[in-house]
Amino acid sequence: MGRPRIRTEDEWKEYHKIYAQTHRDKMNEYSRRGYPKQKENKREYQRNLTLKYKQTFLDMYGNACSCCGETIFDFLTIEHKQGQQKISRRTGLVAYRDAIKEYRPDLYEVLCWNCNCAKGKLGYCPHNPPKVIVPYKIHKVEKYNYTKEVDAMGRRYKHEPKTETSV
């Protein structure tokens, strides 16, 4: 008898649904045997694709750090000039792909890992310090009935709880 003749997509879906229900053990075994190999192949494919996009990005935006001039491929990375916005926290493959697609030198640049980390942590790169160093921004956080002032470096300054004074 064999498999029924399938003519439409709906018929195929119905046939597959019935087959999966009646041959559950066979399908689970097939998945278990193939999963580790598929997982490793997928990882390698993603790694290679990311490197391909990174190379294309570097060819478009320059093959050297715009701050210190580093040219070693492994050290170079993408820098979002305006910082990563909350809406688009894109990293890795997606960041490179979007930068290539948009080609916006006003938004993206090439920096080495050291310059990129310093710029993210300090707000400037030590290779090109600003003429006037701007003091860190102080953020006030109300929590547990006392105020913590936190600067941009994450240092906290504790103050006494606020007390209401009567006049």
Q: Are residues 116 and 158 in the same domain?
A: no
> Do 85 and 143 belong together in one domain?
no
- Whether 40 and 65 map to the same domain: the answer is yes
115 and 146 part of one domain: no
Mean pLDDT of the chain: 78
Asked if residue 130 belongs to a domain, the reply is: no
Question: pLDDT tens digits for 35-91?
Answer: 777 788 888 999 999 999 999 999 999 999 998 999 999 999 998 887 766 556 677
Q: Are residues 45 and 15 part of one domain?
A: yes
**154 and 115 within one domain:** no
71, part of any domain? yes
Extract the tokens encoding 97: 């792909």
What range defines the domain where residue 103 resides? 9-124
* 122 membership: H or E segment, kind and range: helix 113-122
Note whether residue 96 is domain-resident.
yes
